[in-house]
């Protein structure tokens, strides 16, 4: 019994065996099921588990694009190209290595692997990766700076929990 429908002939019987290629490869019905699932797996595993939020989508500015304007809304933004303008999202902003962003950034988590010329305001966490550059001020709950990164500007971090500790101690 054949597991597929051959549109060229009325019946397909591999055991009648005119060609040795019918017996050697696995039945073609199994790969289509796996290929329907496979494209979803890499997209989910790209982001670290602690930052996965399934209710938010990620928008990408590709490495060969240059855009000028404003980004506002909810969701994550990944910039691999060049963007000039302010970015204000209820989500994460990621600048890939080689990316350039000129403008103010307001986001929950900001990861800088490229170059940011502008300020980061009210972020919960900022990560400055190796090779990343920030020219501007940073106000964040926490700041992680990798060796080989550069920054020019003022930094305020760690003040997020102080108002809670004063209220508890009073």
- Between these two residues, 32 and 104, which has the higher pLDDT value? 104
Which pLDDT score is estimated for 143? Answer: 96
Task: Please give the average per-residue pLDDT across 89-102, as a whole number.
Answer: 97
**Segment (H or E) for 135:** strand 133-135
Q: Is the dihedral of CA 91, 94, 99, 103 positive or negative?
A: positive
Tell me the pLDDT of the chain averaged across its residues: 78
Tokens read off for 21: 């290629």
Residue 32 DSSP label: H
Q: Taking the mean position of all CA atoms in its chain, how far away is CA 63?
A: 14
**Phi, psi dihedral angles at 164 (to 5 degrees):** -70, -40
The answer to whether 79 and 94 have CB atoms below 8 angstroms apart is yes
pLDDT over threshold 90, residue 60: yes
Give the model's confidence band at 159: pLDDT under 50 very low, under 70 low, under 90 confident, else very high: confident
Residue with structure tokens 């990343």? 132
Which pLDDT score is estimated for 44? Answer: 40
Tens digits of residue pLDDT in 11-42: 544 444 444 444 555 555 544 444 443 443 34
Give the model's confidence band at 152: pLDDT under 50 very low, under 70 low, under 90 confident, else very high: very high
What pTM does this model have?
Answer: 0.64
Task: Return the domain boundaries, the chain.
Answer: 53-164
Tokens read off for 45: 């595993």
């Amino acid at each position: 019994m054949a597991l597929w429908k051959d549109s060229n002939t009325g019946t397909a019987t591999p055991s009648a065996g005119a060609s040795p290629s019918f017996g050697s490869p696995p039945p073609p019905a199994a790969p289509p099921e796996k290929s329907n699932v496979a494209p979803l797996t890499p997209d989910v595993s790209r982001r670290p588990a602690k930052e996965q939020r399934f209710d938010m989508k990620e928008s990408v500015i590709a490495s060969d694009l240059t855009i000028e304007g404003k980004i506002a809304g909810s969701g994550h933004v990944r910039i691999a190209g060049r963007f000039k303008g302010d970015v204000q999202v209820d989500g994460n902003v990621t600048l890939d290595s080689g990316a350039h962003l000129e403008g103010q950034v307001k986001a929950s988590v900001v990861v800088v692997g490229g170059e940011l010329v502008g300020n980061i305001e009210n972020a919960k966490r900022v990560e400055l990766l190796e090779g990343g550059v920030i020219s501007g001020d940073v106000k964040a709950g926490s700041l992680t700076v990798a060796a080989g990164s550069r920054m020019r500007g003022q930094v305020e971090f760690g003040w997020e929990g102080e108002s809670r500790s004063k209220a508890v101690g009073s």
